[in-house]
Structure 1
């Protein structure tokens, strides 16, 4: 494995197929709070891991399929791979497993948000096509570019705000009519702080764009300037009040 560090502090991991003689060897990459890693998988596919995320992957992919597991949030750019079988050229599918769903990919760009503290799993498709299957009830849907699926008890498809969903890969927070509870979950993961927020204030919605390189106070100011709520930082805890 080769590790590089970018000017922005992002770590880049590169893995080659020839690094291990054990065909069953696997690896695990976990990002800390406030961390963001970019990983090149053995097949050339790329994965960007948001804060507090984990990716499990083999050091050697099988000839008939490629399969990884994840928690947290990961943006994927999947390389196309083909094999010749019975005189025909077939694509080798790529699978992403989360706690309650499986995504089948042939070659595409997509984002998966599967943090345990989120209301459900959100899969957003930028390019290509993916099939999302729920392991809870077997429901299956085919996503097209610009669509996203939401899995709680059932799979629901809607039009995605792609810019908002993948803004983190460009180093930004983008909030568009977003509930304060959702904003604070992202803040907690990135700045490594605890949150105390009454339910009635958590429903308030906010808009804004803040660079993730800005200090925590930048997001606190974004909220407070609206006059809807007050945020106080005490040690490593944000307390929200009227």
Structure 2
């Protein structure tokens, strides 16, 4: 295990150790114009802004669309139905459907607390969330997986004519038509809501950093197979996070001209030459 690197005294320790993980292929995350940390969303083509811990009340939910930008976070309240926290680059839609169960389509990540039964559709899977349930659902298309973490009640999942149940307290990952479960580490799952980067997989961490800091992510070829431990604050400067990843042998560089994080084995691992 490498020696811990202290980026901000008393705030950040990052540990790295080897593990087996698949290589990452070339990948791009596009940008938008909103600054990181903004409480802004587009609701039915209208901009809505929140302050601090406030929530936006969505009274006309049927047929509505809510989208957060890169670097954004948004809290949504639907009276008598649900409360939803939306992560960066997330879109939720409420189709005009009739029936016993409300439906929601998701691209991105949400923490959902519902008082009525709710069907969440991600395209890759359909999740039946019972009434009075809290669940974290992550379904970014670029991740190639759907992650489901119910807190207090079991949820049912269907995909490709298959079905399964995820037990409360477990973390389910649906990838390549295979649903796997393990004990949920809530500290990791809740990091995005608490202002921390807690992703253990370096590829997942880099995608999350790109979404939060509103930059492109360019991955060309594999990166070192490793596992990360610890947490990094989302209030840190991007260049500081890049330097700590460089110090742990991740071949990463921040190109200030292109506003892009570049990962490539062909470049030397060194401090950012921009000095920013």
1:239 aligns with 2:254: no
Give the secondary structure class of the aligned counterpart of 1:99: coil
Aligned to 2:110: 74
- Structure 2 contact 84–112 (Cα < 8 Å) conserved: yes
- Equivalent-residue separation in structure 2 for 1:109 and 1:218 (angstroms): 34
Cross-structure match for 1:84:
none
> Is the contact made by 2:70 and 2:213 (CA closer than 8 Å) also made in structure 1?
yes
Distance 2:218 2:102 in 1: 41
Question: Is structure 2 residue 165 aligned with structure 1 residue 128?
Answer: no
Q: Select which of 57, 65, 73 maps to 1:14.
A: 57
Counterpart of 1:150 in structure 2 is 173
Give the deviation of 1:157 after TM superposition. Answer: 2.2
Match of 1:39 in 2: 76
Residue 166 of structure 1 is matched in structure 2 by 190
The alignment of Structure 1 onto Structure 2 pairs a total of residues equal to 217
Deviations 1:155-180 (A, max 9, x none): 2222222221221011211133x2x2
Shift in Å at residue 231 of structure 1? 2.6
Aligned to 2:221: 199
TM-superposed deviation, 1:224: 2.3
Measure the CA separation in 2 of the matches of 1:98 and 1:197: 25
In the superposition, the TM-score normalised over structure 1's length comes to 0.79
Q: Which structure would you say has the larger RCO, counting Cα contacts within 8 Å and 6 or more residues apart?
A: 2
State how far apart, in whole Å, the 1-side matches of 2:238 and 2:261 are.
10
Contact 1:133 1:141 (8 Å CA) reproduced:
yes
Give the whole-Å Cα distance in 1 for the aligned partners of 2:68 and 2:95. 18
Q: Which structure: greater strand fraction?
A: 1
RMSD of Structure 2 on Structure 1 (CA)? 2.6
- Once the two structures are overlaid, the 10-residue window that deviates more, 206-215 or 111-120, is 206-215
Which structure 2 segments of 5+ residues have no match? 1-42, 269-276
Q: Which moved more, 1:183-192 or 1:228-237?
A: 228-237
CA contact (8 A) 2:224 2:250 kept: no
Structure 1 stretches of 4+ moved >3 Å: 202-205, 227-230
Maintained 8 Å contact 1:11/1:36: no
Secondary structure of the structure 2 residue equivalent to 1:43: coil
| Residues in 2 aligned to 1:171 and 1:99: alpha-carbon distance in whole angstroms | 28
Structure 1 stretches lacking a partner, 5+ long? 82-92
Residues 173 and 68 (structure 1), Cα distance of their counterparts in 2 relative to 1, 3 Å cut: same
Separation in 1, partners of 2:250, 2:209:
18
Shift of 1:39: 0.5
